[in-house]
Amino acid sequence: MSIVEVQQMVGNTVGQMSESLPALILVTAALSLTLAYFSKLAFRQPRSQGTDEKYPPHIPASIPVLGNAIAFGKSPIEFLENAYEKYGPIVSFTMVGKTFTYLLGGDAAALLFNSKNGELNAEDVYARLTTPVFGKGVAYDVPNSVFLEQKKLLKMGLNIAHFKKHVEIIEEETKEYFKRWGDSGERDLFEALSELIVLTASRCLHGPEIRSMLDEKVAQLYADLDGGFTHAAWLLPGWLPLPSFRRRDRAHRELKNIFYKVIEKRRQTTEKEDDILQTLIDTTYKDGRSLNDDEIAGMLIGLLLAGQHTSSTTSAWLGFFLAQERSLQDRCYSEQKDICGDHLPPLSYDQVKALTFLDCCLKETLRLRPPIMTMMRMVRSPQKVGDYTIPAGHQVCVSPTVNHRLRDAWSSRLEFHPERFLADNPAAGEKFTYVPFGAGRHRCIGENFAYMQIKTIWSMMLRLYEFELVDGYFPSVNYTTMIHTPSNPVIRYRRRERL
């Protein structure tokens, strides 16, 4: 089976993400109706009976159970921006029997980012999605203190010495991948970058053995596993006999078996690799306990999947912003020549880091198209914020997308203007106004890896090609997928003539 077919299989992942949100909402609503009475009791807006407590303003909805789900599902950012204008930074609404309270803007967001996990809890909202995919014993399946240790161990492996090797690997994979694009044409950019990033991430984050096994069958396993990250898995009960749930669970078992064999071999040999897998094999928790094979496999799967859609969506949007304005591409290309030399030799990590203007373009892409639209926590005990008390049972949310375009914080807020990041304080001062990687105890550990990977890939792509929009079409945002992908993401390219 050729690598092209393998990558097409990986590309199917993308297709599997695009389930229709409105359809799911309707299915969920049908299920919910049977529980409507109970959910009404559980999630009704509590009243401040005889106390001084004031609950956040609640957006009314005329449709029972569904609440505001249809208006929100159609255009979530518009919905939240209107809510901010009308009700202010803290606002609640109900969808499918659950109450969501959004903290809009940097000041309000501080509650979520500064909170203790016991009060605003991540496992309660994320575990049903992640545990079937990563497995038990890792991430949101364990107490947050254990997950924090796991993040620390993974971070040890995401170090500069490894990044130096990763740049070489990514450069090689990118050159190899784009051979099939030829001299010119029109292609699905998001699909290509998704296929490329699963290859680069597998080799950098999992090691050479696992990358070498990335054939058609393994690619399909990743696609099936990734098919677990859908609105369906988040909204519907896990016991439903859905084919996508069964495929996800089988893929999980089979992938774990592959990882177990590689870990076993590594444990037996005396020669040590210098990579993340080896770091996890050799390290221990604070209490001296080594990680077992199941934990290592789960952490590696989690590491790959946490970066897969986030990085491929961001890379694709970056491509469209660059294609939209030729002068940005020219500037990124000449920056490379200035830093690497006119003959453009292989990139080094230090050079990738020094590409300041490309860095600004990536930052600006993450401002306008942050892949994680909402971070969420379950309120376990009543929370005071400003004048309001948010009751237990609400799901508290912060949306980077909304914070990144607030009228009061950003100038030319909807324009792609990378130079703003050359200034010290592009977001008018507020602390949590720019949060593409989150903040606080749940902050992303993959930021430096993501920057290194995306900048290396785009540096190579700009050496190979010049890009333009197809007949001026800039993709609209597809709100039906969990991560907001570009709709119909086809780009036009032509081989760059080196002068």
Query: What is the contact surface with ligand HEM in residues (CB under 6 A)?
Result: 122, 151, 303, 306-307, 310-311, 314, 370-372, 375, 436-438, 442, 444-446, 449-450
Residue 214 Cβ vs ligand HEM, minimum distance, rounded to whole Å = 17
- Nearest CA to 417 out of 363, 459, 470 is that of 363
Residue 495 Cβ vs ligand HEM, minimum distance, rounded to whole Å = 28
Tokens of 477: 């945002």
> Going by DSSP bridges, is the β-strand pair 98-103/395-398 parallel, antiparallel, or unpaired?
parallel
Residue 442 Cβ vs ligand HEM, minimum distance, rounded to whole Å = 3
482 CB neighbour count, 10 Å cutoff? 20
Count how many residues are written for the chain: 499
Distance (Å) of CA 433 to CA 14, 318, 382, 399: 30, 20, 25, 10
Give the E-state strand segments of 117-173 in sequence order: 120-121
Return binding residues: 444
434 CB neighbour count, 10 Å cutoff? 21
| Closer to ligand HEM by Cβ: residue 252 or 369 | 369
Residue 450 Cβ vs ligand HEM, minimum distance, rounded to whole Å = 4
| Closer to ligand HEM by Cβ: residue 438 or 489 | 438
| Closer to ligand HEM by Cβ: residue 310 or 395 | 310
Q: Which residues pair with 473 in a beta bridge?
A: 470
| Closer to ligand HEM by Cβ: residue 340 or 376 | 376
Phi, psi of 154 (to 5 degrees): -65, -40
Find where tokens 């399946």 sit. Answer: 141
- Nearest CA to 207 out of 118, 155, 272, 124 is that of 272
Tokens of 395: 């799901």
As a whole number of Å, the end-to-end CA separation of the chain is 38
| Closer to ligand HEM by Cβ: residue 132 or 446 | 446
- Closest residue to ligand HEM in the complex (CB): 446
> Going by DSSP bridges, is the β-strand pair 485-486/388-390 parallel, antiparallel, or unpaired?
unpaired
| Dihedral sign, Cα of residue 427, residue 433, residue 436, residue 440 | positive
Angle, helices 293-324 vs 356-368, to 10°: value is: 100
Residue 439 Cβ vs ligand HEM, minimum distance, rounded to whole Å = 8
> Going by DSSP bridges, is the β-strand pair 490-495/465-469 parallel, antiparallel, or unpaired?
antiparallel
| Closer to ligand HEM by Cβ: residue 245 or 451 | 451
> Going by DSSP bridges, is the β-strand pair 383-385/375-379 parallel, antiparallel, or unpaired?
unpaired
| Closer to ligand HEM by Cβ: residue 391 or 436 | 436
The three state secondary structure string of 409-478 is: CCCCCCCCCHHHHHCCCCCCCCCCCCCCCCCHHHCCCCHHHHHHHHHHHHHHHHHHEEEEEECCECCCEE
Q: Exposure of 274 by Cβ count < 10 A (0-12 exposed, 13-18 middle, 19+ buried)?
A: exposed
| Closer to ligand HEM by Cβ: residue 153 or 218 | 153
Find where tokens 């490329």 sit. Answer: 196
Residue 377 Cβ vs ligand HEM, minimum distance, rounded to whole Å = 8
3-state secondary structure of 148: helix
Residue 112 Cβ vs ligand HEM, minimum distance, rounded to whole Å = 8
- Nearest CA to 180 out of 333, 18, 314, 11 is that of 11
Residue 64 Cβ vs ligand HEM, minimum distance, rounded to whole Å = 30
| Closer to ligand HEM by Cβ: residue 305 or 332 | 305
Return binding residues for heme: 444
Residue 310 Cβ vs ligand HEM, minimum distance, rounded to whole Å = 3
Find where tokens 């240790």 sit. Answer: 149
| Closer to ligand HEM by Cβ: residue 32 or 207 | 207
